[in-house]
Every structure is written in C-alpha cells, then in structure tokens.
Amino acid sequence: MSEHQVYDSALKSLLGNEVAEILPNLLPGSEFISEQNIEIDRTTLKPDLVYTIQYQGGKCILNMELQTDADSDMAVRLLKYHVGLYDKHRLPVISMVIDPFETSIPASQFREIRGEEVMQAIY
C-alpha cells in the first residue's frame, strides 16, 4: 500500500466515524444526513457518436447525441458524458444534440472555459 493510500484510508476512517461532528467545521452551515459512499458505475455511459476534432485552433472531443423524442434527463446525461470523456481524453468536450424534429432548446447548464473562451454544451 502506498503512503498516500495509508493517509487516504486513515482520513476516510476518521470522517466515517465522526463525520456528523466534523462536517460543520469543514463546511459551515452543513448538517450530516446519511452516508452515500458507493462506487460509481460508469458502464452504462454510452454516448452515441464521439470524435476527436480540430475546432477554433485546438483539438477537442465532439460528443453527438442523436435524439428523436423529448428527454427530461438530457442535460444530466450530457454532463455525465462530458465528465467521462474529459477524464479519458483530457481535451475540451463539445456536446451536441441532434434532433430531426422540432423541439424547444433548453439553456445550457454547464460552462467550460478554455483560455478566455467559454465553451458550452450545444443543444
């Protein structure tokens, strides 16, 4: 076990046993409710089309989601894909939803900044 893992395990143990008392000191105004320590299952993340592209002078990942009906969870799903793709490729991610039917366009709920430029999910 590495030195970092020893400290990681010790801190997890300390917080795990005393989190209700420690948390308000780390995050004033907060109150412990319940533990949610679970592994995050990313096997269900399956973006439709993903490409490495050149865009505005830099390399990016383009995630194209093909949609044929309304999906109230689209923004959350795009954010999951965005984080997974960024983690894997370490490049800015541009997300685009392609819907061949007339639909409303929701405002982007996520902003990513590259240099001075704001890059957003595209709906």
One pLDDT digit (tens) per residue for the chain, 123 residues: 566 666 666 766 777 778 888 878 877 887 777 776 666 666 777 888 899 999 888 889 898 888 777 777 787 888 888 888 999 899 999 888 887 777 666 665 566 667 777 665 443
Listed residue (121, 46, 120) closest to 81, CA to CA: 46
Domain boundaries, the chain: 1-38, 49-120
Give the Cβ contact number of residue 34 at 10 Å: 4
Phi, psi (rounded to 5 degrees) for 75 = -60, -40
3-class SS of residue 26 = helix
